[in-house]
């Protein structure tokens, strides 16, 4: 009973983080900042969901397998994130920088257009 | 005796035991002798194959990062939780107040594995993503000015150095001594300045 309540709290908390991550992914302005929002769903969202499932499971083999899934999520998700970010960086996609979100070449391109 | 055994076959033993433990946990067979025998045979075969492929070196079976990495992972979990909450606040705030920033962080881990652990830890904490990796530093993209905390990330790198071989530990100790010296100097200057103002 206590485990049920605990696991439901964790499910709801995980869902909150996943929704926040998705919302950030839609709202943030450019490629690199959107990656950060995806990181929220990757780490805390998924891990809280898995923790909630651990409280729901009734034999220890399931618990061990869920723990291993959590560990491998932690090991692999940053590799994927870095691969995407590095691909964008090598492909010379410029990040928006500073509080006014300026790209490095913005002024020049405008001059070229004019 | 034990030291001699770990010297000639330490990595074989570590790999075989950890693989057999994983096999037991995943299969859940503890009582069927036939299945256990097959499990042991497959573990031995895999260890032999790994040795034949030349993968039983300090990169393939990194026994030296244990047990230091376990406390590090606990500490990292807390850090991930903290920065997750910060990024979530930014995502849910009615007006976006972002100030993305690129910073370079020194990475003097001795082994490639140490660098991978450090770069992955940076990426794993939301708000900072490793974009590029050079010989001795890492290029990091941060979501806001506050999250681009070079000092904090360098401290994380020192923690990684702490369990990554002898040279890394030496470097971390040096950095700590430098920081202490700088703090002492700043304190002394502050004291001297205060005295001057007092006069």
Which chain B residues are closer than 8 Å to A85 by Cβ? 123, 129-131, 141
pLDDT of residue A112: 42
pLDDT of residue B168: 65
pLDDT of residue B1: 62
Q: What is the ipTM of this complex?
A: 0.80
Q: Which range among A39-53, B4-18, B22-36 shows the weakest confidence by mean pLDDT?
A: B4-18
Q: Is B98's CB within 8 Å of A86's CB?
A: no
CA B34 from centre of chain = 40
Do the beta carbons of residue B59 and residue B114 sit within 8 Å?
A: no
In this predicted model, what pLDDT tens digit does every residue of B38-78 receive, in sequence order? Answer: 999 999 999 889 888 877 776 677 777 777 788 888 898 89
pLDDT of residue B167: 64
Rounded distance, CA B11 to CA B62, Å? 8
Question: Which residues of A, range 72-101, sit inside 8 Å of B by Cβ?
Answer: 74-75, 77-79, 81-82, 85-86, 89, 95-99, 101
User: What does pTM read for this prediction?
Assistant: 0.78
pLDDT of residue B158: 80
B126 closest CB neighbour out of A23, A30, A40: A40
- Total domain count, chain A: 1
Rounded distance, CA B57 to CA B51, Å? 9
- Which of B28, B80, B87, B125 best probes binding to A when mutated, by most A CB atoms within 10 angstroms? B87
Phi and psi at residue B57, to the nearest 5°: -115, -170
Helix axes A60-90, B112-124, angle to 10 degrees: 90
Q: Is B100's CB within 8 Å of A98's CB?
A: yes
Residue A4 belongs to what H/E stretch?
helix A2-27
Rounded distance, CA A53 to CA B21, Å? 23
Taking 60 as the threshold, does the pLDDT of residue B197 lie above it?
no
Task: Sort residue B127 into left (φ over 0), alpha (ψ -120 to 50) or beta.
Answer: left
Give yes or no for A105 touching B (CB within 8 A): no
Task: Sort residue A21 into left (φ over 0), alpha (ψ -120 to 50) or beta.
Answer: alpha
Give the residue numbers spanning the domain of A58.
Answer: 2-113
pLDDT of residue A10: 92
- Whole-number mean pLDDT of chain B? 81
In this predicted model, what pLDDT tens digit does every residue of A25-80 receive, in sequence order? Answer: 898 888 888 888 888 888 888 999 999 999 998 888 889 999 999 989 888 999 99
In this predicted model, what pLDDT tens digit does every residue of B116-170 receive, in sequence order? Answer: 888 888 888 888 888 888 878 889 988 888 888 888 888 888 888 877 766 666 7
B84 closest CB neighbour out of A30, A44, A64: A44
């Amino acid at each position: 009973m206590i485990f049920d309540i605990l696991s439901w709290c964790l499910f709801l908390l995980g869902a909150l983080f996943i929704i926040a991550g998705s919302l950030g992914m839609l709202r943030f302005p450019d490629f690199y900042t959107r990656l950060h929002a995806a990181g929220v769903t990757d780490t805390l969202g998924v891990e809280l969901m898995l923790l909630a499932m651990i409280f729901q499971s009734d034999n220890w083999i399931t618990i061990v397998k869920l723990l291993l899934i959590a560990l491998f999520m932690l090991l692999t998700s940053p590799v994927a994130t870095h691969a995407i970010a590095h691909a964008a960086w090598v492909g010379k996609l410029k990040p928006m920088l500073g509080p006014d979100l300026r790209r490095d070449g913005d002024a020049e391109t405008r001059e070229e257009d004019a | 005796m034990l030291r001699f055994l770990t010297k000639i076959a330490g990595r074989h033993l570590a790999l075989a035991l950890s693989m057999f433990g994983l096999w037991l946990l995943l299969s859940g067979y503890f009582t069927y002798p036939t299945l256990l025998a097959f499990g042991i045979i497959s573990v031995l075969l895999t260890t032999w194959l790994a040795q034949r492929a030349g993968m039983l070196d300090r990169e393939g079976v990194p026994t030296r990062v244990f047990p230091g990495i376990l406390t590090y992972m606990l500490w990292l979990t807390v850090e991930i939780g903290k920065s997750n909450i910060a990024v979530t606040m930014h995502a849910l705030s009615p007006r976006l107040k972002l100030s993305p920033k690129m910073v370079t962080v020194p990475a003097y881990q001795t082994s490639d594995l140490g660098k991978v652990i450090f770069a992955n830890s940076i990426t794993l904490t939301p708000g900072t993503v490793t974009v590029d990796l050079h010989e001795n530093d890492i290029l990091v993209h941060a979501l806001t000015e506050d999250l681009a905390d070079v000092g904090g990330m360098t401290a994380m790198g020192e923690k990684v150095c702490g369990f990554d071989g002898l040279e890394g530990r030496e470097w971390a100790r040096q950095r700590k001594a430098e920081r202490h010296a700088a703090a002492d100097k700043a304190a002394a200057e502050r004291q001297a300045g205060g005295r001057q103002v007092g006069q």
